[in-house]
């Protein structure tokens, strides 16, 4: 596909997202109906779509368009990237139709117009006050960081290899990495991340994809051999695998929707780990030395990876999530044995989902105390993330 044809494809996909389709679903649907597109084309189109979504407000402003559309976003994307929209929007090579007179005039006017701060930072107006309270002087730097693509991080499986051995195995297949200071088993992929899932290091369980921040949060947990650990909101099981990789043999994984854990047995086998998957009924009456609850949240810390979530989030949705988080905290806390620990985690930067939830839990649940908590900032490389460790007396 030509660059112009890729732009045209991105426009179609973005129109679907604007209409309410999730970005991943829109991309998958387009790929299935355009099977002539090769892997490189699909990757390039995905990058165009995600870049436009990360910078949705500023790209629309740069186009000068009054109404949002996939076409307006891509006109703004080309202009903001230093290109000439007229050279791309020319109707040739299966590309988008030429710019009309109104589009040219709006582009010219937008080029010299002042852009409000929240538009330039691609931040929804309604959530800005809460993010300012949570981030303080880091508000603008963090939001600016969220406008760019996230790095790719790996967790080396200590059961299979040392970090330098895993890095050497990846390098032999052309995948360059570098170690991440402060997190023992983390590698950042610096070249050829697209080759990762076909590499021997990945297929043989030497490495797993996992962001830097949750890796650091798991490493900070009070883990010891032989302890009973429950990953209460396991999802795909990334934290359960990281805990098992640290030498904890008795790891259980649970999720309210067991279908989310469908791939966990195969991932655990590849990693050489034994992880029990437990239903809600199977947890009745059981107690654990450590319960990890990485709860459903707004995902404000992961806007680089799921940029359409930024624009789907609403105040009503956030209020609903906060209610669910409080319920999960109560249920997860009931699974902790006396003297045990509860780790509450989110991929959010909002105080309402983080420390405020912990404080409310402590206020309504006697016998608990906060040991430590931490916000992991995107300015440190990984996603925005929160982790609090509580203990039950």
> Are 121 and 132 contacting, i.e. CB atoms less than 8 angstroms apart?
no
And the tokens for 317? 């949705």
> Are 375 and 388 contacting, i.e. CB atoms less than 8 angstroms apart?
no
> Are 382 and 364 contacting, i.e. CB atoms less than 8 angstroms apart?
no
Pairing of β 288-294 and β 275-277: unpaired
Could you tell me if residue 369 is left (phi over 0), alpha (psi between -120 and 50 degrees) or otherwise beta? beta
Edge-first strand listing for the sheet containing 176-179: 176-179, 186-191, 152-156, 207-209
Beta bridge partners of 197: none
Give the contacts of 97 (CB within 8 A, at least 6 positions apart). 89, 91
Residue whose token pair is 């939001």: 143
370 vs 206, 226, 290, 328, CA distance in Å?
35, 24, 14, 17
Sign of the CA dihedral running 285, 286, 289, 294: negative
322 tagged catalytic: no
Separation between Cα atoms, residue 249 and residue 234, nearest integer Å: 17
Separation between Cα atoms, residue 27 and residue 263, nearest integer Å: 22
What is the CB-side half-sphere exposure of residue 375 using CA atoms within 13 A? 21
Which is nearest to 279 in space by CA: 230, 350, 229, 224?
A: 230
Q: What is the DSSP string of 17-84?
A: HHTT--HHHHHHHHHHH-TT--HHHHHHHHHHHHHHHHTHHHHHHHHT-SS--HHHHHHHHHHHTT--
Beta bridge partners of 253: 231, 277
Q: Which residue in 123, 297, 322, 347 is the catalytic one?
A: 347
The catalytic residue positions are 347
């Amino acid at each position: 596909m030509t660059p112009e044809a890729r732009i045209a494809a991105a426009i179609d996909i973005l129109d679907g997202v604007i209409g309410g389709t999730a970005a991943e679903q829109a991309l998958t649907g387009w790929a299935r109906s355009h099977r002539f597109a090769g892997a490189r084309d699909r990757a390039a189109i995905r990058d165009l779509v995600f870049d436009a979504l990360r910078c949705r407000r500023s790209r629309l402003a740069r186009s000068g368009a009054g109404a949002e559309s996939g076409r307006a976003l891509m006109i703004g994307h080309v202009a903001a990237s230093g290109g000439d929209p007229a050279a791309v929007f020319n109707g040739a090579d299966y590309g988008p139709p030429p710019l009309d007179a109104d589009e040219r005039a709006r582009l010219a006017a937008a080029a010299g117009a002042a852009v409000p701060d929240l538009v330039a930072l691609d931040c929804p107006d309604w959530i800005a006050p809460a993010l300012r309270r949570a981030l303080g002087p880091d508000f603008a730097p963090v939001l600016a960081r969220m406008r760019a693509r996230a790095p790719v991080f790996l967790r080396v499986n200590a059961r299979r290899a040392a970090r330098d051995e895993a890095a050497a195995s990846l390098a032999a297949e052309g995948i360059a990495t570098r170690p991440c200071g402060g997190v023992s088993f983390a590698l950042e992929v610096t070249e050829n991340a697209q080759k990762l899932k076909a590499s021997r290091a990945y297929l043989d369980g030497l490495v797993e994809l996992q962001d830097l921040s949750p890796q650091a949060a798991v490493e900070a947990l009070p883990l010891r051999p032989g302890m009973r650990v429950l990953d209460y909101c396991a999802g795909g099981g990334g934290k359960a695998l990281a805990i098992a990789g640290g030498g904890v043999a008795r790891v259980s994984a649970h999720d309210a929707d067991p279908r989310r854990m469908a791939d966990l047995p195969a991932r655990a086998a590849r990693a050489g780990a034994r992880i029990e998957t437990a239903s809600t009924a199977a947890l009745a009456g059981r107690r654990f030395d450590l319960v990890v609850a990485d709860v459903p949240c707004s995902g404000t810390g992961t806007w680089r990876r799921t940029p359409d979530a930024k624009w789907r989030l609403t105040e009503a949705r956030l209020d609903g999530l906060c209610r669910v988080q409080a319920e999960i905290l109560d249920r997860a806390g009931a699974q902790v044995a006396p003297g045990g620990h509860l780790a509450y985690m989110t991929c959010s930067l909002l105080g309402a989902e983080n420390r405020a939830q912990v404080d409310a839990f402590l206020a309504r649940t006697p016998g608990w105390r906060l040991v430590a908590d931490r916000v992991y900032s995107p300015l440190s490389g990984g996603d925005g993330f929160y982790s609090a460790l509580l203990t039950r007396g």
